[in-house]
Amino acid sequence: MIDQKRILVTGGAGFIGSHLCSKLIREGNDVLCVDNLYTGRKKNISELLKNVNFEYLRHDITFPLFIEVDEIYNLACPASPIHYQNDPVQTTKVNVHGAINMLGLAKRIKAKIFQASTSEVYGDPTVHPQLESYAGNVNCIGPRSCYDEGKRCAETLFFDYRRQHGLNIKVARIFNTYGPNMHPNDGRVVSNFIIQALKGMPITIYGDGSQTRSFCYIDDLIEAITLLMATPNDVTGPMNIGNPDEFQILELAERITELTGSRSEVVFQPLPMDDPKQRRPDITLARQTLNWQPKIKLKEGLEKTIQYFDNLLSRPG
């Protein structure tokens, strides 16, 4: 096929990675999905495995990888606190050693490379909404720092490789994203609330529920990061990708109980250390550069995500 690209997606069996692989395959590309299945799941890519243009390799990117591709999307890293805090040293390794290995690969084969960074680089922000120019308010020795500082270091490496070696890099700071293929036990607020509501369990809110988040549906996110990857060489990011609509956590719980018809009660637990009080992206740069903004409203996205988890819970085994 003319213009078919060979594309590597690390973390390709994870929540975001599996959706990205699906889009790249639909566009006619040849996709190599690399994942060590620490948080990724084979069931996320089970349908893709039937496609001749899709290949899966079980591999940990903290070790070098020697392949030939045209583009690299580096998404490998556990992204929920419950998972990245379970093995914080490995979380730092996959962010730092993994970035070095993927950047070294990109340098050797002269490939364009994308880094999935995160809104966590802003820490518990004192600026609201968060602009890309904001340097952040991060505790570098706290329980979340393996992820926060790991991602910040990865960004440093990407821009140093560009300055020193002329690499074609793209860096996106991804804000809260939700949708089908989320790990059911990842401890994130959307999946937690939906599963608790569907099971009739108490809905657990940490803190008083007044803290805010902005929730981007997965299809909107995937559109944005592929648009960023297609930009000219001089567009590098970092670029905020997320939904600027802001909701209190208590409001999210109320919406989910209403949409599921659940009678679950809300229970409050202490707020974890360094948990940000507010999070909302300024997406002016994405609007101007990519002509992009989220299309899917929270209600529509939640309905699709609830359906996914309802089907998941009803399957035997």
Catalytic residue at 147?
Answer: yes
Q: Is 125 left (phi over 0), alpha (psi -120 to 50) or beta?
A: beta
- DSSP E strand stretches across 146-272: 169-174, 177-178, 203-206, 212-214, 216-217, 239-241, 246-248, 266-269
| Catalytic hit among 38, 56, 147, 217 | 147
Measured between alpha carbons, how far is 243 from 5 in angstroms, rounded to an integer?
Answer: 29
The kind and range of the H/E element at 242 are none
Task: Give the whole-angstrom CA distance, residue 62 versus residue 102.
Answer: 9
Is residue 163 within 8 Å of 103, Cβ to Cβ?
no
Token pair listed for 21: 């692989």
C-alpha angle with apex 292: 233 to 275, nearest 5 degrees? 95
Q: Could you tell me the two tokens for 91?
A: 């979380």
Q: What are phi and psi of 7, to 5 degrees?
A: -125, 130
Pick from 9, 243, 21, 230: which is nearest to 119 by CA?
243
Its sign, for the CA torsion 52, 54, 58, 60, is positive
Active-site residues, by number, are: 147
